[in-house]
Structure 1
Amino acid sequence: MKFTTTLAGLAALFASAAPASAQHATSATVTGFSATRNATHINYRATINVLPENALASFTHATVGLTLPTSSGAWTSTDPKLVLRFNVFTGTDQVRVLLSDTHVVANTVNLDYFSTYSTDWVPTGAAGSAAYTGPSAFTLA
């Protein structure tokens, strides 16, 4: 009898417990953001701490050529549900660094950071030179 009562109590407890669900990012802290040229490519790196879950993801990317593109395309991520990219807004002196969070099905959240193109980015340069000279740490919101 006691065994049956205990099992029934456990079953009721498990039935009432809310399942863990994915949460969208509310902000993200970027560290180690860099863009450096080699002989044939621009290589990009960043580490992002996604809040509120405090989840770290690393990002890498490369674009062919030594000239900064107007759009980077999606970076490779250790978390496939987080997509990082940047877009140059021609004529506005702005570059948008954009993180898209797709952890919640059918509901994407975008977090962004705007940097100044003329002071933070170097559109052309030789191998070994930086393509990004702005802050290596910033917040996406």
Structure 2
Amino acid sequence: MRGVLAFFAGSLFGTGLLVSGMTDTTKVQGWLDIFGNWDPTLAFVMGGAILPMVIAWRLTHGREPAVGGTFPEPPPVELDRRLVVGSVLFGMGWGLVGLCPGPAMASLSYGGVGGVVFLVSMLAGMLAAPTLGAKLDRVANPA
């Protein structure tokens, strides 16, 4: 049952990305072009995602999911070097390519090489991140 619900939720999410235009790299890059042909529609898409999530966090606090397991606790609010560096790298990639992980996966439905190259590069970065992070931690905190 969980697999069916996960498939449905993922399909709904991917469809939402397609309908909202978030798999169109020019739309995302238009959001970032504040001194040119600025496209503010991404703000509405983000608001349409953030507002329901705030409500969901409030409604699920102290409850159990209907399909088993537990709801994750909100992450701790701590600003450290790893968060800042990761955010900067994520933002640079998002700005240069115009895709973040969800839309990148949904854009695979278009076919073509560009989406596949981005997805493979993103996965390589995700696999390299723990090792690179550990090395950077050793350099920053020599024992």
User: TM tier, shorter chain?
Assistant: under 0.3
- TM-score, L = length of structure 1: 0.22
Task: Pick the structure with more helix per residue.
Answer: 2
Task: Pick the structure with more strand per residue.
Answer: 1
Higher CA-based Rg: 1
